[in-house]
Amino acid sequence: MTRAISLHHVSKTYTRGVRVVDRLSLDIAPGEFLVLLGPSGCGKSTVLRMIAGLEEITEGELRLDGEYANDLLPAERRMAMVFQNFALYPNMTSRGNIGFPLRIEAPDEDPRARVDATARMLGIEDVLDRYPAQLSGGERQRVAMGRAISRHPSAFLMDEPLSNLDAKLRNHLRAEIAGLTRELGVTTVYVTHDQAEAMSLGDRVAVLRGGVLQQVGTPRSVYALPRNVFVAAFIGTPRINLLRGLVRAPLDGAMTISLGKQYLRLPEPLSLDHQLLRVQQGREVIVGLRSEAVRIAKRTSARPGEMPITGLVEHVEFQGHEVLVHFDTGSRPALVPDLEAPRAAPRQPRRRRRDGTVLDRLRERAVSLRAGPVVVLEDPPDPAPAPADARLPGDLVVRTTPDIDLRRGMQVPLLVDISHLFVFDQHGERICPSPDRLPDLDE
């Protein structure tokens, strides 16, 4: 019995009228694995808790299998929630913990068979008689999962269930969760701020920023056709390069986008998407280049659709199977406020320091982020001096193979694959490829 979960214009206001979730609409199909993805404080847990019935819905409608469900008690929803800081009962063995919800639900039945079956599924048969203190982190996490799934819930709600585990265990359990929920075919809503986790787990990913849904789609479609710079920058590693450019579209010449002192010439005849850029003539735009859209020219010449620029090597990051090269191309990066490293954040005004508590300042900052623009094109009025360790070397990161020997200070010819070019307008909305472009239907 798995459920369709649908949210229609759902909002949540705590105190002082701040909407932490703002008119969220989402339709989650029975058996679907949906990931809610976004930075800290964007409202992910709040959404999950509203679905679970642990938090009241301020406005809007929650429907379960089409039935109005705003007022159902949590128990009536038959959902299982796995929290980030899952708590096991320390005085119960794994068997006791997994069987606990079963004993509450049906006190007269022996939960033994269900507990054994659940433990087998999770590979923890050997630790059923141990107490939580005698388990490793991963085993504890699996017992917590076992407790959530033992009573065959109609949906799983998971709130960053892996975030306090080490990377290796996280990867391992990630694969297990994906396998398990698909095997059980139970609708799952999974919250994370880790885009790699979202991309590897989700049938679809819903990206939230400041309580507002930015985009929902398959991992492939949000990567390939991000609606705005926020989604583009949040998804994918290394992060997409976002450079400030200026569109020049003379009537009698080639259309170009200048990036500082260099420029990209758009190949003729202009593609339909590039023709759309004509109306941006003379305007500042944001050029988005994923690392796979740029390559080091070596001795090969440009392929059709590739345009040359040059970059000065600032930093070479060795990653084993690949190398990330940070280039300075002389262009200026565009900033995405919610995602920037400390270096990029403009200095906060000082005047309230004396009377405001730290909490007040954090709250103010959270509100200003929520209301703020997706992208900042103005130079910060009073840029804070960059702490040496927070400096972003260069403005363009290119991925390459480890056999290429590059050192700091080298001038290197680069080729930009224009067919992989993203262009966003001054507000951060995607204008190229055309916003009307839909992901391929065969996904």
Ligand X SMILES: Nc1ncnc2c1ncn2[C@@H]1O[C@H](COP(=O)(O)OP(=O)(O)OP(=O)(O)O)[C@@H](O)[C@H]1O
DSSP state of 281: T
Name which position in 3, 7, 26, 41 contacts ligand X (CB under 6 A): 41
Query: What residues between 332 and 371 interact with ligand X by CB under 6 A?
Result: 366
Name which position in 2, 6, 45, 97 contacts ligand X (CB under 6 A): 45
Closest approach of ligand X to the CB of residue 50, in Å: 9
Nearer to ligand X, 83 or 263 (CB): 83
Partner from ligand X, Mg ion, none binding residue 41, C-beta < 5-8 Å depending on class:
ligand X
Partner from ligand X, Mg ion, none binding residue 217, C-beta < 5-8 Å depending on class:
none
Partner from Mg ion, ligand X, none binding residue 153, C-beta < 5-8 Å depending on class:
none
Name which position in 2, 5, 28, 44 contacts ligand X (CB under 6 A): 44
As beta bridge partners, residue 262 has: 259
Partner from ligand X, Mg ion, none binding residue 195, C-beta < 5-8 Å depending on class:
none
Closest approach of Mg ion to the CB of residue 102, in Å: 28
Partner from Mg ion, ligand X, none binding residue 15, C-beta < 5-8 Å depending on class:
ligand X
Please provide the DSSP assignment of 294-341 as one string.
EEE-TTPPPPTTEEEEEEEEEEEEE-SS-EEEEEE-S--BPB-GGG--
Cα–Cα distance for residue pair 30/153, rounded to 1 Å: 13
Phi/psi of residue 194, each to 5°?
-100, 110
Q: What number of residues does the chain have?
A: 443
Closest approach of ligand X to the CB of residue 356, in Å: 16
Cα 377 from chain centre: 23
Q: Interior CA angle at 376 toward 228 and 22, to 5°?
A: 55
Closest approach of ligand X to the CB of residue 12, in Å: 8
Closest approach of Mg ion to the CB of residue 45, in Å: 3
CB environment 390-415: b (16+ within 10 A), e (fewer): eeeebbbbbbbeeeeebeeeeebebb
Partner from Mg ion, ligand X, none binding residue 147, C-beta < 5-8 Å depending on class:
none
Q: Would you count residue 153 as binding ligand X (CB under 6 A)?
A: no
Question: What is the identity of the amino acid at 349?
Answer: P
Closest approach of Mg ion to the CB of residue 301, in Å: 50
Cα–Cα distance for residue pair 42/35, rounded to 1 Å: 14
User: Do 126 and 51 meet the contact criterion of CB atoms below 8 Å apart?
Assistant: no
Long-range contacts of 48-54 (CB under 8 A, 24+ apart): 48/81, 48/157, 48/159, 48/189, 48/191, 50/7, 50/10, 50/12, 50/21, 51/5, 51/7, 51/77, 51/79, 51/155, 51/157, 51/189, 52/77, 52/79, 52/81, 52/157, 53/77, 53/79, 54/81
Name which position in 142, 147, 151, 193 contacts ligand X (CB under 6 A): 193
Count how many Cα atoms sit within 13 Å of the Cα of residue 312 in the half-sphere of its side chain: 9
Q: Would you count residue 52 as binding ligand X (CB under 6 A)?
A: no
Closest approach of Mg ion to the CB of residue 3, in Å: 22
Query: What residues between 28 and 67 interact with Mg ion by CB under 5 A?
Result: 45
Strands 155-159, 59-64: parallel, antiparallel or unpaired by DSSP? unpaired
Closest approach of ligand X to the CB of residue 140, in Å: 20
Closest approach of ligand X to the CB of residue 321, in Å: 30
Q: Would you count residue 81 as binding ligand X (CB under 6 A)?
A: no
Q: Return the residue nearest Mg ion (CB atom).
A: 45
Q: Would you count residue 14 as binding ligand X (CB under 6 A)?
A: yes
Q: Would you count residue 46 as binding ligand X (CB under 6 A)?
A: yes
Using H for helix, E for strand and C for coil, what is the string for 31-66? CCEEEEECCCCCCHHHHHHHHHCCCCCCEEEEEECC
Closest approach of ligand X to the CB of residue 15, in Å: 6
User: Do 204 and 217 meet the contact criterion of CB atoms below 8 Å apart?
Assistant: yes
Total binding residues toward ligand X, as defined by CB under 6 A: 13
As beta bridge partners, residue 241 has: 289
Q: Which stretch binds ligand X (CB under 6 A): 42-50, 229-237, 324-332, 342-350?
A: 42-50
Supply the Cα-derived Rg of the chain in whole angstroms.
Answer: 25
Q: Which stretch binds ligand X (CB under 6 A): 37-45, 90-98, 182-190, 271-279?
A: 37-45
Nearer to ligand X, 38 or 394 (CB): 38
Query: What residues between 15 and 34 interact with ligand X by CB under 6 A?
Result: 15, 20
Q: Would you count residue 192 as binding Mg ion (CB under 5 A)?
A: no
Nearer to ligand X, 328 or 340 (CB): 340
Q: Where are the alpha helices (DSSP H) in 132-285?
A: 137-149, 167-184, 195-201, 219-224, 229-234, 272-275
Q: Would you count residue 42 as binding ligand X (CB under 6 A)?
A: yes
User: Do 331 and 245 meet the contact criterion of CB atoms below 8 Å apart?
Assistant: yes
Binding interface with Mg ion (CB under 5 A): 45
Binding interface with ligand X (CB under 6 A): 14-15, 20, 38, 40-46, 193, 366
